[in-house]
Structure 1
Amino acid sequence: MPQHVMPDYGLYVVQNVNINYMSVKEIVLIFLVIPMLLLELYIIINIAKQKLFKTRTKLILILITFIQPFIGYFVYRQVLSNYKTE
């Protein structure tokens, strides 16, 4: 009889851990994204102040710096959705 009870209990614990792990992931993402955005803003301001680069180069660098976090977030969401479907 205990052999039948144990696997069910184990599965239940694993499911709970997965749900909690996802919510922790979301919280960590929020705490990582806010400082990252501040860092991005700081980099953009420094690029704009720089006298070394031409205006076109500055614009390209600012664009790359601005788009980068969105690409990262999109990739993160794709990875997360792949884990949810399996």
Structure 2
Amino acid sequence: MQPSCTPSLTVPILTIARCDRWLACQRLQDLSIPCHCTEDGCLQVEVTHPTAIAQVRSVIQQLTASRTVLVDWLEQCWHQPAASDFH
């Protein structure tokens, strides 16, 4: 049984360029993560579950990391054993 009230945390995201915050906001909304850009350009994200934290991190990483870092991260993912390999 899930609790009737899920605790949430609203965090400002300032690590990305102001122009990219609108892209991040749209992508997070596509992922059903509540967020909005304030008039001063700050991106406010409401995190209500652990999966949302990983999704927010991924969206921000895609906008801030260099191509080299993203390629290295992807190659590491390819070399990880699949979950089915742990049986």
TM-score, normalization: structure 1?
0.29
Return the structure number with greater relative CO, CA threshold 8 A, min gap 6.
2
| Larger strand share, 1 or 2 | 2
Which protein has the larger Cα radius of gyration, Structure 1 or Structure 2? 1
Question: Which structure carries more helix by proportion?
Answer: 1
